Chains A and B, each alone.
Chain A
């Protein structure tokens, strides 16, 4: 089941054919649900945890499933691999959660998104797995084209953002490394969702139980436990860290472990003395986190420089930069799904707190007038649902025309590409010298789609973002149309 979940969820990111444009698995993820305050989803997930324990971490969370895969690999490589019991580190767990809450309150949603597990996996899928998938598709398309078939078609593979790539790669390396060597340590020390669900799973109705009569303290379960949460010697399990993987049940030759309703005597969570044996691992985790947090900021400053001083434009439906900043965990589902390649992970456009959040860029395309996909799929409420009609009257940014560099003015040649691409006639051509026509803008009509900016050969028309989205005015009707009694006319 976990395999099916991660396959469907990952395909939700990879697919570009529009086959999977209703990614429901993305909508039941805890992190985005928390930031969007989707009460129903949150209540369901917490209720499920109170009943079943942290099953979520094993079959819903894509990062959890990914870590289990890494763990499975390491077991394939070393069949004798053994784990041991380690006491909980509540200070680190709750400290991270508290720090993230403070960061979020201060507007550094970027840090929350960095460790929020679904979003971390989403970025890996979008930045790392998707290019591979697309290359494979393009190879297939090239082969099928030679046979005269256009069943497969080529797609654009582009580097959306260096920052996003680096962050995704670091996430893969750090979490991949931890899970390969240390099982579910990430989930039980850093992951904020793990900490929150771990709090509830202490009280879960169904859980792993050790039958004290049958148990002979053989340590088989403890050695198999990738969450380091079984204390075989004392016959105790730390339920805040158990992710319900059921490995211990299989490992126990005495059939002493079973999954079922709690017995009164076992409700107290395992309290273990502080242990400094794994200081090095902790150090590694801390430094890893620090690198992951600092690298993009330093990098983006280098990559983007200070060239573009325009106000960035957030996607239609995001209401305002502030709303986006508060809710977006940068899972990059919208970035991955945008059929026109407009949404890109931000560098420093929104400031430090908004790194990696989606920003509209018109280098590879422009926002399709009748497309509202990003607003439909956002799991975090950062981009609110818009109908196509609502989108038509939303102005996330507006056109600015620089006559000084327009080719009509500079080269005295005809162009009009911008007006041609404007769906609402916010740019139209007016008479200019020598029978030429030159663009004129009506900003109130503009829907900020960027068609003009994309096609303009010299970028004389550009879109300036609205920090708070405005309403686009509806265009007026034409009067110069004759609708009947035509002749050939010649």
Chain B
């Protein structure tokens, strides 16, 4: 094949690809609601683990919750969505812990996941975030796929039928096309929302974040949580950014808290994380974190940890 032939075939391939993708748009616009993950009676609703390394705490939590197989099935196409928002090293706790992600990817692979994609719509320059967070390295090492999310073309417009303020949004194709996704935020202070955890991590699946801010942030976040709920939320609190979040200024903002919270209930997991967090940053009162009760009102889950089956484990 000479160069001219090669170029011709390349152009032909490009043409086919573009036709195919435009056809796909219509099909995926009407997204299937999340598959039933409702726990059987007696199942653990929330696992709270302390005093372990990230991988060990994940293992303990999943053991309590009934194994990752409770949430994903063999052959599923999985997306793992950590927080990789900032150009920060793992020690500065701006992003989800890479060791935790490595362990989670391994767990999903062992459960027979057909495909595992990892991405975040970062705030800082995406390639610096992916690299310096240490996440790019562990994902590639584990054989999962690190997906870019820095360009609008990686997103597509979806309807949010249950949204109050938000009726549609540009959501990353990886989320739209996957069978199930797992939400893995890091627990941090947040200048505006006081605390960022599982709910606020949804900002990283959408493209047009500015619209969220201009239309009322908390309601938009609650709305996007109704689009295609994650099957499992794992809050990384191995290191907690206690102050000056969500970026943090230096290591003095970070506390080695060695905790992890996991639940299929986003309100429950944020309630647990919030009560834990207000011990670390003593100037914030749990009752002031308004987006958690707001989400409960929308029916996204329960704040009543007393009535849930909660397991507390110290390693």
A residues at B contact (CB < 8 Å)? 17-18, 139, 142-143, 146, 148, 150, 153-156, 339-340, 365, 368-371, 407, 411, 413-417, 419-425, 428-429, 435, 437, 451, 455-458, 475, 477-478, 480-483, 486-490
Interface flag for B22 (CB, 8 Å): no
User: Across the interface, do B217 and A415 meet the contact criterion of CB distance under 8 Å?
Assistant: yes
User: Across the interface, do B215 and A482 meet the contact criterion of CB distance under 8 Å?
Assistant: no
Interchain nearest-CB distance for B132 vs A (Å):
8
Pick from B17, B21, B243, B247: contact of A423, CB below 8 A.
B247
Interface flag for B153 (CB, 8 Å): yes
User: Across the interface, do A478 and B252 meet the contact criterion of CB distance under 8 Å?
Assistant: yes
User: Across the interface, do A425 and B249 meet the contact criterion of CB distance under 8 Å?
Assistant: yes
Once the chains are docked, how many angstroms separate the CA of A428 from the CA of B189? 12
With A365-B125, A371-B128, A429-B192: A486-B214 Cβ-Cβ less than 8 Å: no
In the complex, the 5 A-B pairs of residues with the closest C-beta atoms, listed nearest first: A416-B192, A457-B214, A413-B216, A419-B191, A489-B275
User: Across the interface, do B191 and A428 meet the contact criterion of CB distance under 8 Å?
Assistant: yes
Interchain nearest-CB distance for A442 vs B (Å):
13
Interface flag for B43 (CB, 8 Å): no
Known: A146-B20, A488-B272. 4 other contacts (CB 8 A): A17-B127, A368-B124, A413-B214, A489-B278
Once the chains are docked, how many angstroms separate the CA of A420 from the CA of B252? 18
Please name all residues of chain B whose beta carbon is closer than 8 Å to the beta carbon of A339 when the two chains form the complex.
125, 127-128
Interface flag for B41 (CB, 8 Å): no
With A369-B124, A420-B247: A480-B218 Cβ-Cβ less than 8 Å: no
Interchain nearest-CB distance for A410 vs B (Å):
10
B residues at A contact (CB < 8 Å)? 10, 13-14, 17-18, 20-21, 48, 50, 87, 115, 123-125, 127-128, 145-148, 150-151, 153-154, 190-193, 209-211, 213-219, 242-244, 246-247, 249, 252-253, 255-257, 259, 271-272, 275-283, 290, 305, 310, 312
With A146-B17, A368-B128, A407-B213: A486-B276 Cβ-Cβ less than 8 Å: yes
Interchain nearest-CB distance for B293 vs A (Å):
12
Pick from B124, B191, B247, B276: contact of A416, CB below 8 A.
B191
User: Across the interface, do A478 and B244 meet the contact criterion of CB distance under 8 Å?
Assistant: yes
User: Across the interface, do A458 and B214 meet the contact criterion of CB distance under 8 Å?
Assistant: yes
User: Across the interface, do B213 and A154 meet the contact criterion of CB distance under 8 Å?
Assistant: no
Please name all residues of chain B whose beta carbon is closer than 8 Å to the beta carbon of A340 when the two chains form the complex.
125
Pick from A369, A428, A435, A486: contact of B87, CB below 8 A.
A369
Interchain nearest-CB distance for A182 vs B (Å):
32
A-B pair count, CB < 8 Å, reads 166
With A425-B244, A481-B281: A488-B50 Cβ-Cβ less than 8 Å: yes
29 contacts between A and B (CB under 8 A): A18-B127, A142-B18, A142-B21, A146-B21, A371-B128, A413-B214, A413-B215, A413-B217, A416-B213, A417-B210, A417-B213, A419-B191, A420-B246, A422-B247, A423-B247, A437-B191, A451-B123, A456-B213, A477-B252, A480-B281, A480-B283, A481-B282, A482-B242, A482-B279, A482-B280, A486-B280, A488-B50, A488-B272, A489-B272
Please name all residues of chain A whose beta carbon is closer than 8 Å to the beta carbon of B21 when the two chains form the complex.
142, 146
Task: Kindly report which residue of chain B lies nearest to residue A141, judged by CB atoms.
Answer: B148
With A146-B21, A437-B192, A478-B253: A486-B128 Cβ-Cβ less than 8 Å: no
Task: Kindly report which residue of chain B lies nearest to residue A478, judged by CB atoms.
Answer: B243
Task: Kindly report which residue of chain B lies nearest to residue A412, judged by CB atoms.
Answer: B216
User: Across the interface, do A423 and B249 meet the contact criterion of CB distance under 8 Å?
Assistant: yes
Please name all residues of chain A whose beta carbon is closer than 8 Å to the beta carbon of B257 when the two chains form the complex.
486
Interchain nearest-CB distance for A310 vs B (Å):
21
Task: Kindly report which residue of chain A lies nearest to residue B147, judged by CB atoms.
Answer: A150
Please name all residues of chain B whose beta carbon is closer than 8 Å to the beta carbon of A368 when the two chains form the complex.
87, 124-125, 128
Please name all residues of chain A whose beta carbon is closer than 8 Å to the beta carbon of B128 when the two chains form the complex.
339, 368, 370-371
Please name all residues of chain A whose beta carbon is closer than 8 Å to the beta carbon of B191 when the two chains form the complex.
416, 419-420, 422, 425, 428-429, 437
User: Across the interface, do A490 and B127 meet the contact criterion of CB distance under 8 Å?
Assistant: no
User: Across the interface, do B217 and A416 meet the contact criterion of CB distance under 8 Å?
Assistant: yes
Interchain nearest-CB distance for A395 vs B (Å):
16
Interchain nearest-CB distance for B285 vs A (Å):
12
User: Across the interface, do B243 and A480 meet the contact criterion of CB distance under 8 Å?
Assistant: yes
User: Across the interface, do A420 and B87 meet the contact criterion of CB distance under 8 Å?
Assistant: no
Task: Kindly report which residue of chain B lies nearest to residue A419, judged by CB atoms.
Answer: B191
With A368-B87, A457-B211: A414-B243 Cβ-Cβ less than 8 Å: no
Please name all residues of chain B whose beta carbon is closer than 8 Å to the beta carbon of A456 when the two chains form the complex.
213
Once the chains are docked, how many angstroms separate the CA of A455 from the CA of B191? 15
